[in-house]
Structure 1
């Protein structure tokens, strides 16, 4: 964004200086240089589009690229000879371009851009050194944050954000929530995200796809979920009442027919036939969708087989199901992992990244490590699995312990390991265990992948490098749960997963009988998996009061699995911050409160209060 602002401002100043010079040749040259730049920019854009398209659309894009390249060559030759875009009145052209550039500069509010950019970058956790440093020194994740900052800075009519909080830690995600709710200055914000609490704290309207059509709902995803659950339950009751009433009427008609047949009463037989005809033609709801009395010409427009509308059930979202095998029981008692005053310092580091860390994990226990990026959560995971050794202190593990470790870079490692091999998920699965010296039958591999939702063509036909990010997560996860370990160590496993799969994974992990260590920035996922919070509030923040109105007998979620069905005890949540690992008695909610207080304090300091 700063690059665009600087370039636009420079072009504005060059054209303005040419106009103020009152020199026709200087104005002509400035206009020609500007138009050459626009032609070159058009070529670069068409080149990028052609690289990303294939098939018929790709062919058309490449033709456009060739035309743009030809125009660029002609323009460069003309500019070299100073004959580009010779116009009768170059001053008019210059003033027109100046007006366009002025509009662009106003859209970024260029006079206050630097201060606003610094504020946004600081909110996205950029340090002063990173802000002042060159862009090329940033890693991929920080470049994504810089791109997000540019989108937030631009004073546009519509702000379109696709998974904006991917790879953001929780404090930064909460800052983004605050920015989008308080500082978007009347802009329309359209976003996609798989973070349930993030959406419920930010959005006012939900657009979702059902039956290959866009549907619109005034409210958050949580409110939509509650509405759909209540609507479904209401319609099920309506249908049950109609079915019961119809059975009663049909029984009465059958009795009338039997009586008429026995007595030979033609009137009674005729009455039974009339009732049957009325039942066939006019059976249905007596009220419309608004609760008003049903009127045929108003409520049932068009052709219909009956003169009453039946209960209309909306198409339900397909439920993702994941199943985890039972964890093995260890033959001896004792804690699985114990840290006793453990410290760790990377070589050449000035101070320890982790210092005096003490905790223990019992068999069947659960714990989560949360906190801002860069404070040692993944290092802690590597210490647990033995990939790193402590600088001081003692780490004790159960002698029979096996750990299933899903790391931050599991998907990237899987992708790099299969580039150009055309291996399918099944082949990769079999080769993986063969390298470990274990013979696995293809049927076993297919069964394991199938239980984790990786079936069909994705399992046996599509190369691993062609799988989506979520499918690669399932493959990587299948490798660690095929022979289920007593302990699952999951570091940012929800990255790349869609909302339905995140819920299915949470449901499966709740029932897992082994131990779990979770590193995550997903508030809802931590609450339901580690703290075993009720799954009914699964859509995230801002629990709607309407939830309290649900019947007490609704102890099952929409998949028919009881809320009480969990495989372990409520776990503990630890905050990793400034080298320390501290227990949060209030769990994730306590951490969220601490972060909110910190943001409020920083905002007051920035405002001089």
Structure 2
């Protein structure tokens, strides 16, 4: 029986995992601090260049990045060794490499500017895979506040002006109450004013009104101090040992000043004295920016529409009510509106539907002139459409290829990709004896989706709890009938689990298939690109891509008749995606694939179905490649007809 399968993808830009209908409009809030990146301190970065050369690079105004002798590591693990980081201004680069080689770490090092010699004045924005926090602001307001310097200043000005007006109203109300209530015996301040002078609120600002002015002024001072601290820390990270001590001391002092500013309790009188000066400074900075608020609002609205937001939801739904995927779209829109000099994108298509992916690739390719882009993506079609040049992170070095990913694969690999890295599906173990035969065969189904890695973690935690005598029965399998196998075979192995320690890929396979010998278990996992050291590592310590491969191995262990793949390429590197596609083509059972990876669909499916407008329909073209091309052409027409990107 030849492999059969069809691809289903959702073309509706409003049919993602957004919650419910429109919510009541949220009031404009003070701009919160942006979410911090993962601590840069865990990255160890050195550059083998003279201090004079580094200072020359840091002060470069060309927009280029050209750093030689770059070494990058995390703990004892070396990621880059004597590498050359070379990014020309305005060029779009695709950064490729196996999972775990350090692609995201390199992006983070650039984003946090811990690389010695990195241009100090370059405007850098980083959109990463991790979930973006939400708050009470709408997507549109968040975009204007975070992606626009003008919008952020306008938000702070509005908050400060409102607090000043409320404080003035409070003073007028107090004047009407008479002086007797404002003073105690011998002209001493009343208890409320004394408390306010110590930062407890009330006093000259009229209770809550005074507190709002104090809060607004303190927020501006704290933001200013925090920015100074970040700048000082970045400077310290770039300094050599000789000059680094002084820079590190300055950074500590700046951080301490920022901490004091955050804890500072101004009196209402002090806040009222500082507020006019701060307001004048904010207006001066706003005038220097130029432009108009209306123009930026139009651009922001168009960006959100291009990424799948309806106008109503963009304006009314608080971001805290959006799922992680939709918050990632907001973060992406923020980066596009801000127009940085260097845009760092880490798997930007993971949470996008096909129409949004097509819109994004059109925007990056045609509407981001002058922006340098460094892009990590498992989506080969997206890489080919966006990246002009390819950067390969391999063996601790950065290699540069002047062409697309496809061109690199044809000319640049020199045979390293000829043999399949893994036989994901067709290489699963056969039954212990003969073929499965029954007068009434039962259909078995295995499902692997984009959340299987997370469920694997929960199952591992449940196995640990059971082994320690603290948990109930069964952790819920990640592979259909595999969970039942684990529950059936796990009881007799409890003492062994206690000896083995935290669950590993090996122990989880053995729990499902206790008849397998240890070497057979390792051989089986090897077919899924889970080598011995990884197979013996606790599941909780594996990367996202490694957990996905383990989840796939567990799903395939019972050799199901039907395989359901929901976004199977998320968290896989490009070579793994190609290997998975080759194995799906050879799989003898039925396969149903739901994916937004056009290349993967084209390479695996014999039928193409489109989910759109609440219905599923088979594409008329008999050849899958033709069907996908026709669907993409229709979406591109729709994107271009809407005016797409909203950029000048």
Tell me if both proteins adopt one fold, taking TM over 0.5 as the criterion.
yes
Larger CA Rg, structure 1 vs 2: 1
- Sort the Cα spacing of 1:205 and 1:116 in 2 relative to 1 into closer, same or farther, 3 A: same
Contact 2:221 2:261 in 1 (8 A): no
SS state of the match for residue 215, structure 1? strand
| Counterpart Cα distance in 1 of 2:441 and 2:229 | 60
Distance apart, 1:602 and its partner CA: 5.4
Among 353, 368, 372, the alignment partner of 1:184 is 368
SS state of the match for residue 308, structure 2? coil
Partner of 2:521: 445
| Counterpart Cα distance in 2 of 1:82 and 1:320 | 73
| Counterpart Cα distance in 1 of 2:309 and 2:365 | 21
Runs of 5+ unmatched residues, structure 2? 1-142, 165-204, 206-212, 235-246, 465-501
Contact 1:36 1:72 in 2 (8 A): no
- Sort the Cα spacing of 1:113 and 1:494 in 2 relative to 1 into closer, same or farther, 3 A: same
Matched, 1:9 2:51: no
Partner of 1:469: 544
Distance apart, 1:145 and its partner CA: 1.2
| Counterpart Cα distance in 2 of 1:120 and 1:418 | 41
| Counterpart Cα distance in 2 of 1:526 and 1:142 | 24
Residue by residue over 1:55-87, the C-alpha shift from the partner in whole angstroms, topping out at 9 and shown as x without a partner, is: xxxxx9999689635543357547337669999
How high is the TM-score relative to the length of structure 2? Answer: 0.52
| Counterpart Cα distance in 1 of 2:281 and 2:442 | 77
SS state of the match for residue 596, structure 2? coil
Residue by residue over 1:13-32, the C-alpha shift from the partner in whole angstroms, topping out at 9 and shown as x without a partner, is: 6889999xxxxxx9x99996
Among 252, 255, 260, the alignment partner of 1:68 is 255
| Counterpart Cα distance in 2 of 1:515 and 1:183 | 42
Alignment map for 1:122-141 (pairs within 5 Å): 122-131=305-314, 132-141=316-325
| Counterpart Cα distance in 2 of 1:456 and 1:103 | 60
Partner of 1:252: none
| Counterpart Cα distance in 2 of 1:129 and 1:155 | 25
Contact 1:327 1:486 in 2 (8 A): no
Contact 2:218 2:262 in 1 (8 A): no
Matched, 1:527 2:630: no
Partner of 1:80: 267
Partner of 1:344: none
Among 364, 372, 388, the alignment partner of 1:204 is 388
Matched, 1:117 2:117: no
Distance apart, 1:33 and its partner CA: 5.0
Residue by residue over 1:159-196, the C-alpha shift from the partner in whole angstroms, topping out at 9 and shown as x without a partner, is: 22111111212222111111112222432222111110
| Counterpart Cα distance in 2 of 1:62 and 1:320 | 53
Contact 2:388 2:403 in 1 (8 A): yes
| Counterpart Cα distance in 1 of 2:402 and 2:214 | 54
| Counterpart Cα distance in 2 of 1:63 and 1:209 | 35
Contact 2:388 2:404 in 1 (8 A): yes
Partner of 1:590: 627
- Sort the Cα spacing of 1:74 and 1:226 in 2 relative to 1 into closer, same or farther, 3 A: closer
Distance apart, 1:457 and its partner CA: 2.1
Which fold has the larger relative contact order, with Cα–Cα distance below 8 Å and residues 6 or more apart in sequence? 2
Runs of 5+ unmatched residues, structure 1? 20-25, 50-59, 234-315, 334-397, 531-570
SS state of the match for residue 517, structure 1? strand
Partner of 1:325: 428
Partner of 1:458: 534
How high is the TM-score relative to the length of structure 1? Answer: 0.55
Partner of 1:214: 398
Partner of 1:165: 349
| Counterpart Cα distance in 2 of 1:14 and 1:516 | 56
Matched, 1:576 2:611: yes
| Counterpart Cα distance in 2 of 1:578 and 1:44 | 51
